[in-house]
Structure 1
Amino acid sequence: MQTVKVFKEQGIIKVYPGPGNVKDGGHSQDIDGGLRPGMSLCLQGTAPEGNPDRFNIDLMSGDDIVLHFKVYYRFGLVVFNTKVGGWQREERVGDQPIQAGRNFDLIFNVTLKGYQVIINERPFYLYKHRMAADSVTTMCIGGDVSFHAINMIRDSTGGEETGYNWRFLPMLSTQPTYNPSIPFSTMIPEGMSLKKTMVFGGRVLSGADRFAFDFIASSTGDRVFHFNPRLKENSVVRNSYIRKSWGSEESYVKSNPFREGEFFEVMIRCGRQKFKVFANGKHMFDYWHRFQLFTEIDSLTIQGDVQLLYVLI
């Protein structure tokens, strides 16, 4: 039951300590192995109150700057550039949404074309590659900003040479899907089976009300396992919709791990008698089977106020 732990040990999910306020000394973080398409850098920060000036994030390759990302608060502007010996042509983008005194989320998705930048859940700009992403060795942050969480999600395309060996993860039958849109729907290859493990990484949207995972037997339309975190109620509801009728709800959890704007990792494992559900590496609850032919569960939908970073089934 250590799938999430294994992810971290293999470097698939890399959690860096938040550097806090970087104005006085800046912050430098090594990125081992460089970047590749399918990887994401996810940062949660706070812009200082008052009249902050600017901050920058630089993805470095030695003395060269592969990606220069600079926010100018007062002008509502972001400047992108690359420095190889000298600075190249700037790309300027207005209407940047990061505001003084506010928390914000910033994601750099590495794609085949470039860096897709997402700010506060909305696509902001695609900065096309000018240097190879795999040359990145360091991330440097400076200026008027605080970061309290930095996560890196790696893809699986590197194979065993880079240490990301998915064979060691129990009963995962497919490669991961990265950054799928919501609502999300997929088939479960060969249906549910004993010891099958499914892993989901995501973030609860700011102002979220609820979101839901539904495991469905498509032959009957039954929602065999309905897993429904409700933020406004501070509850995690579980139920089954079988033969056109809802059963009795279960909602008790010792600790609710879902918070607005925060990242989460959920692992669901199918046992002979029940589903075991873990969140952020800790057991959250068991859900006893109400539909005994669980092998007929062959599809999954995810919808609601959530952003998905990766799905492994």
Structure 2
Amino acid sequence: MSFVPAPGYRPAYNPPLPYVASVMGGLWPGMAVYVQGVVSPNADRFHVNLASGAGGGADLALHLNPRFGTEGQAVLNSCHGGEWGPEQCHDLQPFTPGTPFEIVITVTPHAYRILVNGSHFDEFLHRLPAEQVTAVTVDGDLELHAVTVLGGGGPYLPTMLDMPQTIPYYHSNLPVMVQPPTLHPPVPFVATIPGGLIPKKTIVVKGYIPPDAVRFHINLRAGPGGDVLLHLNPRLEEGVVVRNSLLGGVWGSEEQDLPHNPFQRGRYFDLSIRCGNYRFKVFAEGQPLCNFSHRLPPGPHVDTLEVEGDVVLSYVHF
């Protein structure tokens, strides 16, 4: 069981540094870039760049550069034709050596909106057209855990899908994830899944488990209050991840066996749930986690996602 990301969701897990991710079709309003890692204990600086290319001389539409030495600040800037623009400086918090961080850079029509650990950090007005951004680069004093480009590539997506010879990423018969992700929604979270759980539909849930968490759950349900075809329930005190169904008001038999448990207190998680013809396929950080055989057939009527309990959501995407 291999993990194939659906078009519009392009993750990389634990990549080596320096890291370069291509952004096919450029960045457009509604898209976002997600970077998650740990600042090195003796960090001097690191950077996240939104660049016009992978080379060293590429223009930088956004240069996010936390500096931990004597400067003690995070610098935002751009670079065009080899010339740096005026610096936009910000306090380093919440970036701290030795601690995990989560950066979400959302593209708006006028600026990049930057959130760090779920809170507003800063905005950086566009100095270069965002659609010219073709690469995300990350390097410096950090342990990089995940980088994801969220969104379907704006108005160029239909053209790209018609060009399989030139864009191998789109060699996929998976449904395209074109709508913008929901970033840092409150919990409890309830959302309607457009089109419902058709075969090969992928749902992505990424979040953070607080140090004092006891349990939370993710439900795939046939409408509000309807049958639960998949109940995924990490129980932190017990160290288990329960899977079950609730059909006709009656719970079925629990399943708990896993090759590993990705849900740990004080850590981020990245979960992908794909609806297959005969089972749900669950991946964590791009690795197979478990299957859950359908106890009732899915379909367009299974159209509700619920998340509740001791969890802080980073984004939800489908």
Q: TM-score range by the shorter chain?
A: 0.7 to 0.9
Unmatched runs of 5 consecutive residues or more in structure 1: 21-26
Give the aligned partner of residue 69 of structure 1: 64
What's the CA shift for 1:12?
4.0
C-alpha distance 43-240 of structure 1, shift in aligned 2 (>3 A): same
Unmatched runs of 5 consecutive residues or more in structure 2: 162-166
What's the CA shift for 1:90?
2.7
CA RMSD after TM alignment? 3.6
Aligned residues: 296
Contact 2:67–2:74 (CA<8 Å) still a contact in 1? yes
Give the aligned partner of residue 130 of structure 1: 127
TM-score, normalisation: structure 2: 0.74
Question: What secondary structure sits across from 1:18 in the alignment?
Answer: coil
Q: How does 1:231-242 map to 2 (within 5 A)?
A: 231-242=236-247
Q: Distance in 1 between matches of 2:95 and 2:276?
A: 42
Give the aligned partner of residue 114 of structure 1: 111
Q: Distance in 1 between matches of 2:136 and 2:299?
A: 46
Give the aligned partner of residue 178 of structure 1: 181
Give the aligned partner of residue 56 of structure 1: 47
Question: What secondary structure sits across from 1:35 in the alignment?
Answer: coil
Contact 1:196–1:269 (CA<8 Å) still a contact in 2? yes
Please say if 1:31 is aligned against 2:31: no
Q: Distance in 2 between matches of 1:294 and 1:142?
A: 43
Contact 2:8–2:176 (CA<8 Å) still a contact in 1? no
Cα distance per residue 1:237-290 (max 9 Å; x no partner): 12334555544433222333444534424223254xx6322213526022441x
Give the aligned partner of residue 157 of structure 2: 159
Give the aligned partner of residue 308 of structure 2: 303
Q: Distance in 1 between matches of 2:150 and 2:126?
A: 18
Contact 1:19–1:146 (CA<8 Å) still a contact in 2? no
Question: What secondary structure sits across from 2:131 in the alignment?
Answer: helix
Please say if 1:149 is aligned against 2:145: yes
Highest Rg: 1 or 2?
A: 1
Contact 2:40–2:143 (CA<8 Å) still a contact in 1? no
Which of 247, 252, 265 is residue 257 of structure 2 equivalent to?
Answer: 252
Give the aligned partner of residue 164 of structure 2: none
Runs of 4+ in 1 over 6 A off after TM superposition: 164-167, 292-295
What's the CA shift for 1:294?
7.2
Q: Distance in 2 between matches of 1:106 and 1:190?
A: 30
Q: Distance in 2 between matches of 1:219 and 1:310?
A: 18
Contact 1:43–1:147 (CA<8 Å) still a contact in 2? no
Cα distance per residue 1:109-140 (max 9 Å; x no partner): 33333222222233322222121122234445
Question: What secondary structure sits across from 1:266 in the alignment?
Answer: strand
Amino acid at match of 1:278: V
Contact 1:41–1:150 (CA<8 Å) still a contact in 2? no
Please say if 1:276 is aligned against 2:280: yes
Amino acid at match of 2:306: T
C-alpha distance 111-102 of structure 1, shift in aligned 2 (>3 A): same
Question: What secondary structure sits across from 2:159 in the alignment?
Answer: helix
Question: What secondary structure sits across from 2:16 in the alignment?
Answer: strand
Question: What secondary structure sits across from 1:255 in the alignment?
Answer: coil
Contact 1:39–1:152 (CA<8 Å) still a contact in 2? no
Q: Distance in 2 between matches of 1:89 and 1:131?
A: 14
Percent identical among aligned pairs is 26
Please say if 1:213 is aligned against 2:218: yes
What's the CA shift for 1:177?
4.1
What's the CA shift for 1:178?
0.6
Amino acid at match of 1:277: K
Question: What secondary structure sits across from 1:19 in the alignment?
Answer: coil
Contact 1:60–1:66 (CA<8 Å) still a contact in 2? yes
What's the CA shift for 1:99?
1.2
